[in-house]
């Protein structure tokens, strides 16, 4: 019998999504979260920083070339890295640009 509880159904869908998309299960996610002290791996924020994320969970960051999961990020850090195409040279240029001021 399926649960009619919306949070339970959403959690079940999330668990299926992360297995299918990232190859990790909920236990893996929560172990990573604990290892990161419940904070973003980059800025160390405990907030997801996105009104679109209703789960309250940090994003699962992964390498788009290998599919390997790197860690859990808040929305801002996840999008920032993604918008710079996960390109370390470009990120370094951004750092150098910021250091000019």
Structural domains for the chain: 6-99 (3.40.1800.10)
76-99 pLDDT, tens digit each: 999 999 999 999 999 999 999 999
* Dist. CA 80–CA 82, nearest whole Å: 5
Per-residue pLDDT tens over the stretch 17-76: 999 999 999 999 999 999 999 999 999 998 877 666 656 789 999 998 899 999 999 989
Quote helix, strand, coil % in the chain, to nearest 5: 50, 10, 45
Q: How far is CA 1 from CA 4, 5, 14, 21, 44, in A?
A: 9, 12, 19, 26, 40
Residues 6+ apart with CB under 8 A from 96: none
pTM for the predicted model, two decimal places:
0.82
Determine the 3-state secondary structure of 14 from DSSP: helix
| Whole-number pLDDT of residue 46 | 86
pLDDT of residue 35: 97
- The pLDDT, as a whole number, for residue 101 is 75
């Amino acid at each position: 019998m399926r649960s009619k509880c919306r949070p339970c159904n959403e959690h079940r869908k999330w668990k299926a999504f992360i297995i299918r998309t990232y190859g990790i299960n909920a236990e893996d996610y929560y172990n990573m979260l604990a290892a990161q002290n419940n904070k973003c791996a980059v800025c160390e924020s405990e907030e997801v920083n996105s009104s679109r994320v209703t789960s309250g969970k940090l994003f699962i960051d992964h390498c788009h070339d290998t599919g390997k999961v790197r860690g859990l990020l808040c929305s801002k850090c996840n999008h920032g890295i993604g918008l710079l195409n996960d390109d370390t040279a470009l990120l370094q240029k951004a750092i150098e640009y910021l250091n000019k001021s």
